[in-house]
């Protein structure tokens, strides 16, 4: 008697909407969408031991990063020493509490929450796999997994480190800079956080707790335009269509977002327009004020770039120009172009959809790096406080520029790239799409 065939584990691609069947994965393999090449799920070697080891090392380096002096600044016999927490404290002193909160959240608080959640969930999943715990996920663990997934895009530890390096080069010619133990600990902490994030995969993690539930009427090769399912953006579970006002996922109980391109575009446009409005004060007002021998001078973003260029700090001038001028403008224009084409809804060429999708991916990836200039200001304000001899204060443009970065990020996050794939206009699933591509993961 033949063994009954297990039902296929189906997921919907987040970026093109194609429903695909997940294959069995070996270590260091990943499954990608056959239509848009978006990674659906990945499995690393030693999937429980490695995240736990890296996560614990991250927490140790985080504690070391905030426990010792971060760096010091000395000129003409007068010195100033700061810790990592001092950067946020000084922003608060100069009435920039929102920037102080943003710095603490993106660099310390959210990464710590993410790491603690990752450690707990992978530990629980490992116990389930080895049979040391009953196979049951609690509502608290579901909530914790949703929190971990939500805060992942807001981890800016790597961006902050680049901002610190830019700050060092920017003031190295003006004074003697000393690097404390916390600085080196933070460098290691950054590398470990990036590694931890690259190893974590939410779809695979959820599958260790609860298998994907099959639903009737949905098969591999369907897509979002068939309107026969709602895909959960948290655990990748396909849910049946419902007329409920606030539908919830049957697997993780997260809020579902039915495919509604008109409503989605309205939100994305609103956030993008707000970001464009903040671009004006961000570029017209001073980003920071510099006090030298009792004389105060304000400098805008472009004035700072020109000054660095005149001081022959060409690489730093280029980094600040790209991160603070080119990238925000390019992101606003790119998102505008994408939203206009999404509004038209006349894409009948899969190649055009792929091009738009690649532009969207690039735009979403580079947006967070504009925070470099904000972190540069935070470090300089905390470090350079020698009263009338030399001091740096945040300018009114800093908060406006932070709003530009956050609003463009939110606009890109709320945008649904599945709008580029219009089945009724000819963009259909590939005929051989019952299984996604399976390939070695670069981990």
Specify whether the CB–CB gap between 117 and 148 falls below 8 A.
yes
Where along the chain do its domains lie? Answer: 260-422
- Give the whole-angstrom CA distance, residue 59 versus residue 39: 28
Q: How would you list the strands of the sheet with 71-75, edge to edge?
A: 78-82, 71-75, 176-179
Instruction: Give the model's pLDDT for residue 425.
Output: 40
> Which residues, including other chains, have CB under 8 Å from residue 53's CB and lie 6 or more apart?
none
Please tell me the distance from the alpha carbon of residue 174 to that of residue 34, in angstroms, as a whole number: 55
CATH T-level fold of 260-422: Butyryl-CoA Dehydrogenase, subunit A; domain 3 (1.20.140)
pTM of the model: 0.87
Alpha carbon distance, N-terminus to C-terminus of the chain: 42
The single residue listed with the structure tokens 């600085």 is 183
For residue 336 the two structure tokens come to 């505008």
Whole-number pLDDT of residue 322: 84
Task: Write out the chain in H/E/C secondary structure.
Answer: CCCCCCCCCEEECCCCCCEEECCCCCCCEEEECCCCCCEEEEECCCCCHHHHHHHHHHHHHHHHHHHCCCEEEEECCEEEEECHHHHHHHHHHCCCHHHHHHHHHHHHHHHHHHHHHHHHHHHHHHHHHCCCCCCCCCHHHHHHHHHHHHHHHHCCHHHHHHHHHHHHHHHCCCCEEEECHHHHHHHHHHHHHHHHHHHCCHHHHHHHHCCCCCCCCCCCCCCHHHCCCEECCCCCCEECCCCCCCCECCCCCCECCCCCHHHHHHHHHHHHHHHHHHHHHHHHCCCEEEEECCEEEEECHHHHHHHHHHCCCHHHHHHHHHHHHHHHHHHHHHHHHHHHHHHHCCCCCHHHHHHHHHHHHHHHHHHHHHHHHHHHHHHHHHHCECCCCEEEEECCHHHHHHHHHHHHHHHHHHCCHHHHCCHHHCCCCCCCCCCCEEEECCC
Contact partners, residue 141, CB within 8 Å, separation at least 6: 120, 121, 124, 209
pLDDT number for residue 424: 47
pLDDT tens track, the chain, 443 positions: 444 445 678 898 988 888 998 888 888 888 889 888 888 898 888 888 899 999 999 999 999 999 988 888 777 767 778 888 888 888 887 777 888 888 899 999 999 999 999 999 988 888 877 766 666 778 888 888 889 988 999 999 999 999 888 888 777 767 778 888 999 999 999 999 999 999 888 888 888 888 888 888 888 888 888 888 889 888 888 998 887 778 888 888 888 888 888 888 999 999 999 999 999 998 888 888 887 766 777 788 888 788 777 767 777 788 788 888 888 899 999 999 999 888 765 445 677 888 888 899 999 888 888 888 888 888 888 887 776 667 788 888 888 999 999 999 999 999 989 888 875 444 444 433 445 566 655 44
DSSP β-bridge partners for residue 439: 30
Alpha-carbon dihedral 243, 245, 248, 254, rounded to 10 degrees: 140
pLDDT computed for residue 346 by the predictor? 46
């Amino acid at each position: 008697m033949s063994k009954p065939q297990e039902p296929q584990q189906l997921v919907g691609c987040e970026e093109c909407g194609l429903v695909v069947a997940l294959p069995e994965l070996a270590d260091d393999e990943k499954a990608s969408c056959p239509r848009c090449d978006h990674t659906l799920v990945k499995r690393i070697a030693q999937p429980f031991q490695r995240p736990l080891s890296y996560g614990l090392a991250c927490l140790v380096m985080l504690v070391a990063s905030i426990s010792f002096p971060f760096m010091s600044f000395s000129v003409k016999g007068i010195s100033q020493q700061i810790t990592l927490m001092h950067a946020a404290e000084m922003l608060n002193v100069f009435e920039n509490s929102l920037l102080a909160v943003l710095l603490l959240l993106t660099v310390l608080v959210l990464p710590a929450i993410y790491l603690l959640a990752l450690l707990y969930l992978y530990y629980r999943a490992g116990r389930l796999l080895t049979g040391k715990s009953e196979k049951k996920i609690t509502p608290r663990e579901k909530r914790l997994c949703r929190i971990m997934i939500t805060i992942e895009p807001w981890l800016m530890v790597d961006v902050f480190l680049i901002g610190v390096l830019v700050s060092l080069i920017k003031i190295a010619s003006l004074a003697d800079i000393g690097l404390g133990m916390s600085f080196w600990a933070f460098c290691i902490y950054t590398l470990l956080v990036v590694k931890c994030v690259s190893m974590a995969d939410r779809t695979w993690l959820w599958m260790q707790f609860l298998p994907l539930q099959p639903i009737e009427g949905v098969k591999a090769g369907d897509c979002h335009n068939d309107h026969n399912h709602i895909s959960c953006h948290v655990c990748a579970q396909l849910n049946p269509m419902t007329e409920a006002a606030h539908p919830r996922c049957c697997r993780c109980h997260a809020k579902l977002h039915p495919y509604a391109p008109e409503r989605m575009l309205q939100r994305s446009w609103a956030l993008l327009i707000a970001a464009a409005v903040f671009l004006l004060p961000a570029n017209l007002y001073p980003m920071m004020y510099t006090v030298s021998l009792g004389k105060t001078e304000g400098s805008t973003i472009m004035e700072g770039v020109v000054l660095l260029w005149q001081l022959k700090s060409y690489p730093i001038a280029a980094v600040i120009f790209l991160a603070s001028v080119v990238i925000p403008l390019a992101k606003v224009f790119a998102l505008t172009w994408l939203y206009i084409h999404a509004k038209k809804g006349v894409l009948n060429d899969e190649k055009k959809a792929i091009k738009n999708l690649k532009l969207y991916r690039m735009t979403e990836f580079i947006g967070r790096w504009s925070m470099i200039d904000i972190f540069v200001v935070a470090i300089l304000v905390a470090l350079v406080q020698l009263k009338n001899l030399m001091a740096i204060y945040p300018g009114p443009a800093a908060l406006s520029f932070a709003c530009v970065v956050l609003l463009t990020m939110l606009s890109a996050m709320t945008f649904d790239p599945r709008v580029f794939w219009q089945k009724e206009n000819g963009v259909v699933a590939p005929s051989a799409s019952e299984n996604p591509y399976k390939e070695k993961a670069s981990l």
